[in-house]
Amino acid sequence: MSWVPRTEYPRPQFRRSEWINLNGQWRFAFDDVGAGLGGRWYEVTAEDLRDGSLFVRSITVPFCYQSDLSGIGETGFHDVVWYARAFERPAGERVLLHFGAVDYRAAVWVNGVEVARHEGGHTPFSVDITHALLDGEAGENVVVARVEDPSRDVTIPRGKQYWKEESEGIFYTRTTGIWQTVWLEPVPASRISELRLTPDVAAASLDVQVSIEGFEPGMVLRVIIEREGGRVIDDRLAGLRSALVERRLPLLARGEPHESPYPGRWAKPALWSPEAPNLYDLRLELLDESGGVLDTVESYFGMRKIETKNGRVYLNNLPLYQRLVLDQGYFPGGLLTAPADEDLRRDIELAKEMGFNGARKHQKVEDPRWLYWADTLGFLVWGEMANAYAYSPGYVRRITAEWQEVVERDRNHPCIVAWVPMNESWGVPNLTADTRQREHLLTMYHLTRSLDTSRPVVSNDGWEHALTDLCTIHDYRNAATLSRVYATPEAAIADPERHSVYVPGYSYRGEPILVTEFGGITLGDATAESWGYRTAADAEGLLERYEELVSALVESACVQGFCYTQLTDVEQETNGLLTFDREPKADLGRIRGITALPRGPATTREDAEPYES
């Protein structure tokens, strides 16, 4: 039997018990001359796949062909690729086909019938394929995917994927095609299709929004919430009148047990934080009028509030000092795809061992399983979009559409405490002179706020902010300069390393200031094949330089957090605290002691007692 990687359930916040993993061996072909559509490759049969006459290669899904774990490991340009595999129809009224992520444009056929098209390399898509399936005894079904990934198009949101064949500088090997799990899910015709969860710490309640596919009047929605095995809520909303259900559920018991749907006798909600990552279990049941269960979905949530005021960030009403690490999310053997679920968990555990209470996931929309482990282990996350590099109307359409999908996919995760739609003016390189680009920057900020008002939004991480909830600055200068520049907010704004902190027409309004890139220390002399922003001769030198830089920031009265560059080496960029293989470059305990250095002399009680893990 061929190897089937990534066997864990891929969608941890919307789980059903029945599913079929389609990872493993698929047939595969490059289509450099564009022969596939004209040759009707999408009509391939299971017998064709067995004789290998058309799809001459095989690939291990969900690894891209550029990765070693795919079984191919070629890094040259192949902008059109095809996938195919046979599968048996699962039992169920309806069958959904899910793709976790396919970079960049995908068209999908089942038994020669086109069932889906999707654009966007970092977000999932699903389709009901029931109508295209063969009858149970009519033979094997075949799914075919054609993927187009224009390697040189710099108006496509691509993050760190380079538009040249060889990696260089801060840019890395590309990912083309399927790079997250593919799976089948048998579902009932009437089912729960979407779930939005918004905690309200002040009101000790949870706002639940549920969408129903195949809705019929009179249905019943049951919501069960449990904490550590104890039932907190068992709520039934009978006689539904709409396919969209909105419900506010208090998490505190009211009245006597026999009078209330809230059997738990909890003194207060258990709040989520890096120090105490408390999670509630959630089960939704869709019932028919007679009480029969039509569909069941399981999820979880965390009660926490993140906000900014008076120049500080607050978590659950306590000041929060963020000690973040820049995480590029590249993995040995798999590139953007972690070889195993344990690798996602281990990255967070290593970061926490080094004293970091969170990460800025840089230029990548990470696998939902990584966010699950951040929720579970208690790890703050800045959710960032993978940006393009050049501005055009097509770019605007692409990034706004995909970013909405990102926010909708990830908004239920308590670990996410900030949204970062833009970074260092990528995609908008002429903000100073081009009114369109400034309006786009504002649009991304307001679009994100329109989708989620519960988290701060960074308009343009690094510099050239317009409206923003956090003033975030990238600064790779030495410790003495950091100490001088971040003595006051005024000095920080007036003396940037590179670009202005704000674009013309906008200015600092008292937002919390965080230095969200600094450091970048590499061991040995920097070269084109191995470089960093600054160098250290050995582990002792690395620790000494790291301590100087961190000390300069934690002693600042105005800096409310930092993000160190970076967690691991990635290809030629060797400025990680860990190697690409996750080996520490210095003692983890000593790194932790530096990362967790106490803040300098406090000016207020709030400064003296920041909340952090």
DSSP 3-state of 552: helix
C-alpha atoms less than 13 angstroms from C-alpha of 281 in its C-beta half-sphere? 9
What mean pLDDT do residues 478-506 have? 96
- Averaged pLDDT, 310-328: 97
pLDDT digits (tens, 9 = 90+) for 218-229: 999 999 999 998
Q: How does pLDDT run across 251-307, given as a tens digit for each residue?
A: 875 444 444 454 544 557 899 999 999 999 999 999 999 999 999 999 999 999 999
Looking at residue 3, its pLDDT comes to: 86
The highest-level CATH class for domain 318-598 is alpha beta
Q: What is the mean pLDDT of residues 169-190?
A: 97
| Percent of the chain predicted with pLDDT > 90 | 89
Mean pLDDT of the chain: 93
Per the rule left: phi > 0, alpha: psi between -120 and 50, beta: everything else, 396 is alpha
Q: How confident is the model at residue 246 (pLDDT cuts 50, 70, 90)?
A: very high
pLDDT at 608: 38
* Cis amide prior to 104 (ω within 30 degrees): yes
pLDDT at 587 over 80: yes
Residue 137: pLDDT band (50, 70, 90) is low
Fold assignment, 24-180: Jelly Rolls (2.60.120)
* Rounded-to-10 torsion of CA 148, 153, 159, 160: 100
Predicted pLDDT of residue 253: 53
CATH class of the domain whose range is 191-200+202-301: mainly beta
- Distance (Å, rounded) from C-alpha 105 to C-alpha 177? 8
φ/ψ of 213, rounded to 5, equals: -90, 140
| Structure confidence by residue, pLDDT tens digits, 41-77 | 999 999 999 988 889 899 999 999 999 999 999 999 9
pLDDT for res 254 = 46
Q: Report d(CA 251, CA 265) in Å as an integer.
A: 9
pLDDT of res. 53: 80
> What residue spans define the domains of the chain?
24-180, 191-200+202-301, 318-598
How far apart (Å, rounded) are the C-alpha atoms in residues 242 and 429? Answer: 46
> Using one digit for the tens of pLDDT, what is the confidence trace for 384-424?
999 999 999 999 999 999 999 999 999 999 999 999 999 99
Cα dist from 524 to 3, 436, 600, whole Å: 39, 44, 31
pLDDT band, very low/low/confident/very high, at 22 (cuts 50, 70, 90): very high
Quick: pLDDT tens for 361-372: 999 999 999 999
pLDDT of residue 603: 39
pLDDT band at 601 (very low <50, low <70, confident <90, very high): low
pLDDT at 102 over 80: yes
Confidence of residue 612 (pLDDT cuts 50, 70, 90): very low
